[in-house]
Structure 1
Amino acid sequence: MITFISSIIILILGYVFYGKYIERVFEIYPDKKTPAYCKQDNMDFVPLPAWKGWMIQLLNIAGLGPVFGAVAGALYGPVAFIWIVIGCIVAGGVHDYFSGMLSLRHGGAQFPMLVQHYLGKVIRVFTDVVSVVLMVLVAAAFVAGPAQLLSSKTPISFFVALIIIFTYFILAAILPINKIIGRIYPVFGVILIVMAVSIAAALIFSGKHIPEITVHNLHPKGLPVWPLLMVTISCGAISGFHCTQSPIISRTVKNESEGRKVFYGAMISEGIIALIWAAAGMTFFGGTEGLAAKLQSVGPAGVVDQISIELLGPFGSILALLGVIILPITTGDTALRSARMIIEDFMKGKVNIKPKALMIAASFAVGLPAFILSMIDYSFLWRYVGFTNQIVATVMLWVSVCYLLRYSKKHLVAGIPALFMTASISVYVLYAPEGLALPYQTALIGGSIVFLIVSSLYVRTILKYAKPNSMPAPARDLYTS
């Protein structure tokens, strides 16, 4: 119990102090007019209040990610608390703040455009592909569960449920942000927050023993904590999906001073939600072996449903039903909207198509494969979502490093988490079944080699920008980009 409550307090303090420090390192310009006004088009560029931007950002990045991922991460025991707290404050919050604010500084640019500006065209093409694939996988993975639950609770068939959800997805992707997303997301946000707060309060006052801190690996199968935990709990610690969502909100931010609340604040909020569900997963089912058996038999949705009913009764059942159906959809719709925006940015100037026609074509181009993939087994999809997600997160951290180096700012705030995630994802791809499936020791050696190569390139870049006369125009001039 002490560990759980202390972790929440540390996350809040992380927002207050470290978030403010990151804001100072980035250096905001409250006097500058943001793209929400400069490019206002009543479609994507629309000024929104900070509270609404925060709410939409939270739902965009959260959904059921910090719920299902945290429950699965609870298999490793209380060490999951450590990863959520440190990862969220030092890595995830930094990642989300820089992705949102750099997008804003570059006129609401999508993530691949930022990659091209700071890392070059070759890596941008790679990032375009990986980002769109990630968006499609997320939309597919997060829609199958709600469709199955709808078909089990109503006369609607699974296939019809998929068609209904994807029809909404297409509409949410092509209609102005303040027509659907800006109106219904605050309601969905209340559901997510009430669900998390209710579970936390009931858990604290239930008298159940929430495990205290330990660095021991309690996974029933003895799977290594590093790097598997860093991929299992991504939403709630650090997630590359977030940098694909931040441009949606960067185009609505009214003032740079709101960035910490909207971007860093949403990440901290998601971390608190992840802590709550990780604690619930560890507390119920008699330990990690019982949790593993329950996940095997009823899946994460069944685990969430059982915890909610036991803690909150009929009210919990309603919350769980609403959460498992609605919250994944709020991630899937903006995933397709982001993919649509990425494709539009890539195709501009390359095809002679009217902007509205291009927008509709791009929406269907990503919606159709997501619809087809949604009929594949969820667990299979989620494995590939995991490592593509963290590859994107790592690239975004390196974009942040290059920005900080270019403008002579304190680059280690992004450099240290970038190096850590580089090592983590390298070992994961070499070790995991969906990667090369090499023995763990071999994967560690291979990951160490990648880490050393990237570290040497980092040092070389540091030395490059340390040379006299290597500075470009001031960072505030990015608004002219």
Structure 2
Amino acid sequence: MITFFLALILLVAGFFTYGRLVERVFRIDDRQTPAVAHPDGVDYVPMKTWRIFLIQLLNIAGLGPIYGALSGACWGPEVYLWIVFGTILGGGVHDFLAGMMSERHDGASISEVVGLYMGKAVTFIMRVFSVILLLLIGINFSVGPAALIAVLTPETLNTSFWLAVILIYYLCATFLPIDKIIGKLYPVFGICLIIMAVGIAGSMILKSEYHMPELWESFDVVHPEGLPKWAMMFVTVACGAISGFHATQSPLMARCMTSEREGRKVFYGAMVTEGIIALIWACAGVTFYNGVGPLSEALAQYGQGSVVYTISTTLMGPVGGVLAMIGVIACPITSGDTAFRACRLTIADWFRINQSKVTYRAALSVPLLAVGAFAAVSLPFEILWRYFSWSNQTLAMMVLWTGAVFLLRFGYPPICCFMAALPATFMSAVSLTYILQAPEGFQLSTSIAYPAGILFALACLAVFLFRVYRKGPQEEVETPL
């Protein structure tokens, strides 16, 4: 229990200390935000801070901090370290920079922002990469909920039926103004996600029959499937520490803020909240099942959804069951629809298509959902998810390097740029190491993957240092998109 409380305190303290430091380095000012400068009633819609925060939380969370944390706990309570320091030093910085860089460039999609600072070739790569990633997420977060709802309803209402219903909903959420569905439903589900996490944590603390394992008890833990901690754990626990998907979602809220001073609460704050949720579920997994081995066996035998439902109903009773169902059904759906929405906006920014007109929005939304429907019924879910996991962290790496260059161009001392450059270096090593050793990757031995990942990360850092000390700070890119 000591480890859990220390980790919780560090996460909260990180928001008020390191988060404020990141805000100061960014140089928040009183300039007009895109939502104030030119609201269009569709994507640029001014909203209150609390509403934007809850929408951002649900956008970036989904099932990530629950499923990912439970799987990550199979490496033992050491996963707490990744959740805490990954959130404070990596994820919070990543999400804040992604959202605020977008806000400074008229709410541009992350692919366009990266292109401004990393060059034309990277722009094209990022555009294609972002569209594919967002489609993968939208597809992944439609098949899973459809299958689960089919289990809970009569046989005539099978997975295909519910998949069609979810995709029709996605079309509406992608097409309609952001305040019509997303702005109204998301805050409610966001509150449910928080209540669910608080209830789980409270039950574990108050019920004496449960023992929360300490960090110092876990160093002899071996993953049941023999998967190496480096870099598998850092990809498995993504949304609870750092996730490139967040960079595609932050611009949605950057188009709705009415003041730059909301940025730390909305972006860094939502990431810290997600880290807390991930911490609670990682702890719940090993605590409820009394160890890594039993947790792994339960996940393998019953699946993530059943484990979440069992933990919730046992610790919180019928209320927990309702919240669990909301969590495992509504949360992935609410990430899937914003994935398709962000995909529409990415393509619109790419080809400069005005989205305030109904016909133009429909021209992008309908084909996107058609592609999603085809892929959902044609491609294996497991393969889609595996490639999403790697591409997700690779995107985080690219956004952090962009943030480092962005900070350099602001004219601050180079030391400030390392706020983004150091986590970018770490994620560079994670990204390459993972794809070299992963079953869906090159399946190389760790003796090759480990040094290759480290050398790649050092090479990226060397290129950045060359830019810092040879070229020096440059003027901020001022041309808005």
Query: Which residue in the other structure is 1:21 paired with?
Result: 21
Q: Distance in 2 between matches of 1:149 and 1:206?
A: 30
User: How far does residue 480 in structure 1 lie from its aligned partner after superposition?
Assistant: 5.2
Tell me by how many angstroms 1:178 deviates: 0.7
In 1, Cα distance between equivalents of 2:61 and 2:306: 19
How far apart are 1:406 and its partner, in Å?
1.3
Q: For residue 194 of structure 1, what is the amino acid of its counterpart?
A: I
User: How has the CA–CA distance of structure 1 residues 353 and 188 changed in structure 2, closer, same or farther, with 3 Å as cutoff?
Assistant: closer
Structure-2 separation of matches of 1:444 and 1:275: 27
Question: Could you say if the C-alpha distance between residues 388 and 431 of structure 1 is closer, same or farther in structure 2, counting changes exceeding 3 Å?
Answer: same
Cα gap change, 1:43/1:218 in structure 2, threshold over 3 Å: closer, same or farther?
Answer: same
Does residue 289 of structure 1 match 2:275? no
Runs of 4+ in 1 over 6 A off after TM superposition: none
Cα deviations by residue, 1:67-94 (Å, 9 ceiling, x for unpaired): 0000110100011000000000000000
Equivalent residue number for residue 454 of structure 2: 448
Q: Which residue of 2 aligns with 1:348?
A: 352
Matched residue type, 1:169 = Y
**Cα drift, residue 322 of structure 1:** 1.6
Counterparts of 1:38-49 in structure 2, within 5 Å, are: 38-49=37-48
Query: How far apart, CA to CA, are the structure 2 residues paired with 1:69 and 1:353?
Result: 34
Asked if structure 1 preserves the Cα contact closer than 8 Å seen for 2:55 and 2:182, the reply is yes
Q: How far, CA to CA, are the matches of 2:360 and 2:88 in structure 1?
A: 39
Are 1:405 and 2:408 an aligned pair? yes
Q: How does 1:416-455 map to 2 (within 5 A)?
A: 416-455=422-461
Equivalent position SS for 2:341: helix
CA contact (8 A) 2:245 2:396 kept: yes
What is the aligned partner in structure 1 of residue 255 from structure 2?
251
The equivalences for 1:89-128 within 5 A come to: 89-128=88-127
Kindly indicate whether the alpha-carbon contact (under 8 Å) linking 1:344 and 1:358 is maintained by their aligned counterparts in 2.
no
How far apart, CA to CA, are the structure 2 residues paired with 1:440 and 1:295? 26
1:373 to 372, 375, 380: 375
TM-score normalised by structure 2 residue count: 0.95
User: How far did 1:223 drift?
Assistant: 1.6
Aligned twin of 1:153: 152
Q: Which residue of 2 aligns with 1:170?
A: 171
- Secondary structure of 1:374's partner? helix
Give the direction of change, closer, same or farther, for the CA distance of 1:479–1:57 in structure 2 (3 Å limit). farther
Give the one of 268, 274, 281 matched to 2:272: 268
* Contact map agreement 2:42 2:356 (CA 8 A) in 1: no
Q: What's the % identity of the aligned pairs?
A: 43
TM-score of the superposed pair, with normalisation by structure 1: 0.95
Counterpart for residue 2 of structure 1: 2
Decide whether the 8 Å contact of 2:75 with 2:292 is kept in 1: yes
1:203 aligns with 2:204: yes
1:147-168 per-position Cα deviation (integer Å, ceiling 9, x unaligned): 1121111122111100111101
Q: Is the contact between residue 104 and residue 247 of structure 1 (CA under 8 Å) also seen in structure 2?
A: yes
Q: Which runs of 5+ in 2 are unaligned?
A: none
Partner deviation per Cα, 1:206-229 (whole Å, 9 max, x = no partner) = 220111013624311232111111
Aligned to 1:187: 188
Distance 2:373 2:4 in 1: 39
Which residue does 2:134 correspond to in 1?
A: 135
- Do the aligned residues in 2 keep the contact of 1:400 with 1:414 (CA within 8 Å)? yes
Q: Distance in 2 between matches of 1:338 and 1:121?
A: 21
1:405 alignment partner AA: L
Q: How does 1:303-382 map to 2 (within 5 A)?
A: 303-348=307-352, 355-375=357-377, 376-382=379-385
In 2, Cα distance between equivalents of 1:162 and 1:78: 36
User: For the residues of structure 2 that align with 1:277 and 1:371, how far apart are their CA atoms?
Assistant: 31
The 8 Å contact of residues 406 and 465 in structure 1, kept in 2 or not, is answered as no
Distance in 1, matches of 2:25 and 2:458, equals 27
User: 1:358: Cα distance to partner?
Assistant: 3.2
Deviations 1:442-461 (A, max 9, x none): 11122133123212211111
Give the Å deviation of 1:204.
1.1
Among residues 388, 392, 399, which one is paired with 1:389 in the alignment? 392
CA distance in 2, matches of 1:103, 1:149: 36
Aligned with 1:411: secondary structure? Answer: helix
TM-superposed CA distance for 1:479, in Å, is 7.5
d(CA) in 1 for partners of 2:261, 2:175: 29
- Of stretches 125-134 and 232-241 in structure 1, the one that deviates more from structure 2 is 125-134
Separation of aligned partners in 1, 2:102 and 2:289: 44
Kindly tell me the number of residue pairs found equivalent between the two proteins.
Answer: 472
What is the root-mean-square deviation of aligned Cα atoms in Å? 1.7
Partners of 1:153 and 1:183 lie apart in 2 by 26
Q: 1:407 to 1:393 in 2, by over 3 A?
A: same
Matches within 5 A, 1:202-221: 202-207=203-208, 208-214=210-216, 216=219, 217-221=221-225
Q: In 2, Cα distance between the equivalents of 1:210 and 1:478?
A: 51
Segments of 5+ residues of structure 1 without an aligned counterpart are none
